[in-house]
Amino acid sequence: MYKKFWNEEMETLSTTHQRKLEEMELKKQLEYVYSNSSFYQRKFSEAGISPKKIKHIEDLSKLPFTEKAELRDSQEKNPPYGDYLATKKEKIARVHRTAGSTGKALYSALTKKDLKQTNDVGARCFWAGGLRPHHTVVHCLNYCLWMGGFTDHTNLETTGATVVPFGVRNSNLLVRVIKEIGIDAISSTPSYPNYLVDVVRSELGIEPVELGLHLGLFGGEPGLEDPNFKKILEETWGMRASNANYGMADVLCTFASECDEVSDLHFLGQGALIAQLIDPETGEGKKIEEGVQGELVYTNLAREGQPLLRLRSHDMALIVRTGLCKCGRTGFRFKMIGRSDDMLHLKGVNVFPSGIFEVLISMRPEVTGDFLILLDKPGPYTSLNLRVEHGEGIKPEDFEGLKKKIQTKIRDMLTFHAEIELVPPKSIPKPEGGKVKRIIRLYAGDTVS
């Protein structure tokens, strides 16, 4: 019989004990950062404060935010790790590189202590998501320098599960390996199984549900927040689809997952990370309580390599619940609703690609659910141009009616007007294991097939 929690002490902390732990660790972290990071020495000086003035979590608001652009600038001026590196080079045990999807890639330097903390919190997440030592899990994220590849691999191994390090691409070989080894779990982006459906049918001559995958551990992009998408995924593959891999590589690889009882993400970074909520436009703090929406901001605790204070994630979250969950975990539960830098303003309405995805996935099989937002100028916008894949069996004479149906549903659910271009199924490029790109900014030089 397996234990219920990976780290029961941390995962079931009361609010009072969590706050005491965070403030104790924060004090030590601030002293360490101030003594070892010239990057933060400047930020403290510019703010006119010292670490001693930050005694409580709320006092963090006295510090300016840290933005990724600052970190890129720091690494350009002080290569390779920037002047926010707070340890000696000899203590660096591993180096990763971010994907650089919103700018120049960053190098992340971690010590052995950082890696131990990362693996513990990552194991909390995968354990909560359903992974156990009896599973054999194939890991299908990019191993080439990206944190989600090798570090997630070690997080998976920490649970005691058998891990098959496959990576991305060569999907024909992947489905054969799954069948030959008897793999029963997969770790990937949530869009990847959709890509694999046709591969299983053509390569093995069977339906996906016959392949034997019983557990999917997904992360890296939106999707599983939508119950329609999750239902289709689970029915197609006969697996439990678990949103088990939310994180931010710059601060902590993985620190949130769903549990057996609810599908909302649980914050599981207790003792390693302080999470705060802000208004993305004003920067003002917001209380983490049920029904509140805002941008998540993170501060490392007990981090040696490149500790970060008040890093803006630009991830927009809705706080679903606080307090004790039915599973026994106490971290706040939240739902990702998009990125603040992907938030589009239309006549006073904030629109996220994830909202459009939820509308379209509810219209299957008339559409596939895949789409692109084509922007020909910077916002704000009065309408959006959407390229949408129609479903199999939709004939040209059905196009006008389907366009109007999509427009009406978007207007009713998201309150904005969309111009719809219908394209054939499987015509919108889909990455083989990578992240799906929904917004194409034509004015910025983005290309689209």
28-37, 190-199, 222-231 — which is least confidently predicted?
A: 222-231
Distance CA 436, CA 201 (A): 22
Distance CA 368, CA 314 (A): 28
The tens digit of pLDDT for each residue in 342-356 reads 878 787 677 888 889
- Topology annotation, domain 344-444: GMP Synthetase; Chain A, domain 3 (3.30.300)
Residue 96 has pLDDT above 80, yes or no: yes
195-199, 392-396, 415-419, 435-439 — which is least confidently predicted?
A: 435-439
For residues 125-151, give the mean pLDDT. 96
Q: What sign has the CA pseudo-torsion 241, 236, 248, 345?
A: negative
pLDDT band, very low/low/confident/very high, at 448 (cuts 50, 70, 90): low
The tens digit of pLDDT for each residue in 149-197 reads 999 999 999 999 999 999 988 999 999 999 999 999 999 999 899 899 9
Q: What interhelical angle do 192-204 and 227-237 show, nearest 10?
A: 20
36-40, 73-77, 272-276, 410-414 — which is least confidently predicted?
A: 410-414
Residue 449 has pLDDT above 60, yes or no: no
Strand partners, 351: 344
Structure tokens at 239: 């697996």
pLDDT band, very low/low/confident/very high, at 101 (cuts 50, 70, 90): low
Percent of the chain at pLDDT > 70 equals 97
pTM of the predicted structure, to 2 decimals? 0.85
Instruction: Write down the domain spans for the chain.
Output: 1-339, 344-444
Burial (Cβ within 10 Å: 0-12, 13-18, ≥19) of residue 330? buried
Distance CA 274, CA 252 (A): 11
Greater confidence, 108 or 169? Answer: 108
CA distances to 76, 147, 187, 242 from 122, rounded to whole Å, are 30, 12, 13, 14
pLDDT band, very low/low/confident/very high, at 382 (cuts 50, 70, 90): confident
Q: According to the model, what pLDDT value does residue 191 have? A: 87
Per-range mean pLDDT, top range of 119-128, 216-225, 350-359: 119-128
Distance CA 35, CA 303 (A): 13
27-36, 53-62, 181-190, 216-225 — which is least confidently predicted?
A: 216-225
For residues 23-29, give the mean pLDDT. 97
Residue type, 126: F
The tens digit of pLDDT for each residue in 241-296 reads 999 999 999 999 999 999 999 999 999 999 999 999 999 989 999 999 999 999 99
What mean pLDDT value characterizes the chain? 93
For residues 114-127, give the mean pLDDT. 98
| CATH code, residues 1-339 | 3.40.50.12780
pLDDT band, very low/low/confident/very high, at 374 (cuts 50, 70, 90): very high
The DSSP annotation for 95-160 comes to EEE---TTSS--EEEEEHHHHHHHHHHHHHHHHHTT--TT-EEEE-S--SS-HHHHHHHHHHHHTT
Residues ≥6 apart with Cβ < 8 Å to 132 = 2, 159, 160, 161
The structure tokens 């084509």 sit at 374
CA distances to 360, 389, 430 from 363, rounded to whole Å, are 5, 11, 20
